[in-house]
Structure 1
């Protein structure tokens, strides 16, 4: 889930969005829903702050958890405190004004921005703006079997155990995380356009749910066996043995992130090059169909600049290369061929090559 394409491994905005959503949803749970009759109003403003950060990260995606959070407020009987609290309305007004101000500022700097945002961010709710990404309603629920494997197998038993828990906090945590996860998955399942990584913000809450059963088993062992020095180590040893394969797989995916789409390869290769001495003549040969497909590689270009003091330029065809260039290439446009160049291969990084241009390319003249 989190380590997938467009997730944490590739440094995409969806990863940052997940961070802000997790923080402001956690504040709602820990500081507004769970406290006594009078939670501290300052946490309302912190919720608004992190919601605003989520909006500035990926626009309307920040709104997706709100139905589940509001349902939880009613479920835990905190609606009277919240909706009769002046700080709630002050926070909402401030957030709305800042969002409107953001759109006006962007429209001034880039005329036509609001129209583009309306078409790409708001119309997608009821309009199929990307027919090539149309998926059935149950797409994200089906994906859990692979993107949340093997923890998906303990998810339902863990929820049942959590709801029957004698620990009030565990029961409340289970209810909140279940409501959040189900509502979020249902909401993102409504639009016809469904991209694989849209479910990323739900995985921290699914992780919480799947861990409940292990907490309850540990608690049961402590209460059942008088000799805790034997019971607890035995439990954790059994847990590690059962999950060893999965844990090794997770660590391996962090060190060597997998990729499914060609446009992910450049970012992984750039991350590897950041561990090596700076290459001041480095260029990236890459062509994508949509401007947003350059977002990932641009992130790593900025990282390279921050760490090495040099920002590699992107080249879209061989025509733009000159002798002396060191070129990272993971794909070649169909009409291009390295046969027209005299190159030296420096190294291979996964499916990518770092090459050095030795002489001018010879292109046929029309």
Structure 2
């Protein structure tokens, strides 16, 4: 039995002229934009560059600025054969550095842009596909209050995933609209989104594409698409730019394609990177259920049930596409041997739209049943109450992780240590970095590149060369064990400390008798 509530009953929330907004909508759009934008930008520049992916991409971008090579990414002066992703995100980060200088904010501006653009896409899609302002606004509010999307590796740091999600959403939404409205512009936006998704994160950009093939077969329009000249022009565009990059880089950087296979294809999918990345098949589903989507999951399940009984054709069609995409994508990443916490990020925008559709149907049905006269107040109050807890949970997550950053990621404290040194002792520009010989060097290397632009010079020392430090040297370290090592060998003045980081000025070497004691 179909749910009888129409998707378009509310006169106060519908855009009367298709998807157009009016001047009167500014009264709620302005606070809405502030509400959804705040978690994206709040204290984002206060976070130091993070370990592993963000710091490596920061080095890639900084070295691209220095060497001008837009095709081959570099790490410590050599072609990067570990991070083998195409360079679209690195191009944007390098451009941001050129325009705004070396800073955490400059590195993360492309991420901020991708997140806000994804919000815009959800809002625009709600108006364009469903002609409903409540669906448009609610889908954005749900996504901004989804911890699975708003985590550090996705929406808050200079990693690939926010950009990847944006392009996946772009090509999926425009593919859906192309089949609904048969407008060529949507086809070309779909092709562009698919191409840039690949140029952002390689094969990961294609992981949602099989759902589009299944959906077009379900709609019975595959043969129609294959008869269109634009289809072949789009395929040629994708192959020329998307796959063309890989072969161009192979000619400039021999061995690149083999590294791509080992890092992104058979290597990661068939074997785990290490024991830390090996998890059971239901790991992503358990994360969603217990932590990353625990507020929204019950509402999602209810919404899917409502949508499957929905009589509105366009709503039911999108529900089919989203359910197929979510099921197939989660199956792909769950069967891969390498599992990372943020790999499920592309799922959350589609979950958000499904929930927005289901909740809108239920709220409009409730408004009719209760004979609500002031529907705008009813809908606004209901939505704010629904989103309050998950939205607050996202903000609490940011506060908690910021407070624990020093203990969790001591290597990230190089940045804050250098900033405090620059502020308190601006004349000290010759710095020694004391760190383990086997420490992953991306964070310290990025900050070295950044501070060299300000006239700083650096030398590096480790546990084997610590005895060679000289009186007067300024030493920066982030490993607490190295504080004991340095203080066992030298009399040193602590200039400042921040979590695990210490900045010392060497006074003199301790004599042998004192050291032995």
What CA distance in whole angstroms lies between the structure 2 residues aligned with 1:277 and 1:235? 51
Alignment pair present for 1:237 and 2:387: no
Question: What residue is the counterpart of 1:106 in the other structure?
Answer: 249
Change (3 A) 1:219 1:325: farther
| CA 59–16 in structure 1, closer or farther in 2 if over 3 Å, else same | same
Q: Distance in 2 between matches of 1:227 and 1:82?
A: 46
Q: Choose 1 or 2 for highest CA Rg.
A: 2
- Aligned residue for 1:153? 298
- Preserved contact between residue 218 and residue 232 of structure 1 (Cα < 8 Å): no
Moved over 6 A (4+): 259-263, 271-280, 282-291, 296-302, 308-314, 333-336
Distance 1:40 1:91, change over 3 A: same
Contact 1:55 1:61 in 2 (8 A): yes
Higher RCO, 1 or 2 (CA under 8 Å, sep at least 6)?
2
Shift of the alpha carbon at 1:157? 0.8
Deviation at 1:310, TM superposition (A): 8.2
Give the conservation status (yes or no) of the 8 Å contact 1:21–1:51. yes
Measured in 2, the distance between the counterparts of 1:197 and 1:152 equals: 17
| Superposition pairs of residues 1-366 of structure 1, within 5 angstroms | 1-30=148-177, 32-35=178-181, 39-124=182-267, 127-132=270-275, 133-145=277-289, 146-229=291-374, 231-254=375-398, 257=401, 270=415, 281=429, 294=442, 317=462, 325=474, 327=476, 329=478, 331=479, 337-339=485-487, 340=489, 342-344=492-494, 346-348=496-498, 351-353=499-501, 355-359=502-506
Supply the distance in 1 between the matched residues of 2:459 and 2:400 (Cα, whole angstroms).
24
Please report the RMSD computed on the Cα atoms of aligned residues, expressed in angstroms. 4.1
- 2:270 is paired with a residue whose SS is coil
What TM-score do the two structures reach when normalised by structure 1?
Answer: 0.77
CA deviations 1:101-122 (Å, max 9, x no partner) are: 3223322333321111111112
Q: Give the paired residue count.
A: 351
User: Which range moves more in the overlay, 187-196 or 99-108?
Assistant: 99-108
Counterparts in 2 of 1:116 and 1:104: CA distance versus 1, 3 Å: same
CA distance in structure 2 between the aligned counterparts of 1:20 and 1:361, rounded to whole angstroms? 57
Q: Is the 8 A contact 1:3 1:257 kept in 2?
A: no
Per-residue CA deviation, residues 31-90 of structure 1 (Å, 9 max, x unaligned), is: x1222xxx2223333222222221122111011001111111222333233222121122
* C-alpha contact 2:269 2:338 (8 A) present in aligned 1: no
- SS of 2:149's equivalent in the other structure is coil
Do 1:9 and 1:254's aligned partners in 2 also have CA atoms closer than 8 Å?
no
Equivalents in 1 of 2:448, 2:156: separation in Å? Answer: 16
Alignment deviations for residues 148-198 of structure 1 (CA, whole Å, 9 cap, x no partner): 121112111111112223443332332222111111101112222222221
User: Would the aligned equivalents of 1:28 and 1:47 in 2 still touch at CA under 8 Å?
Assistant: yes
For normalisation by structure 2, the TM-score amounts to: 0.57
CA displacement 1:247-289 (0-9 Å, x = unmatched): 2121233466467997756558858998998687588766697
**What's the CA shift string for 1:226-260, capped at 9, x where partnerless?**
4431x553454344345433221212334664679
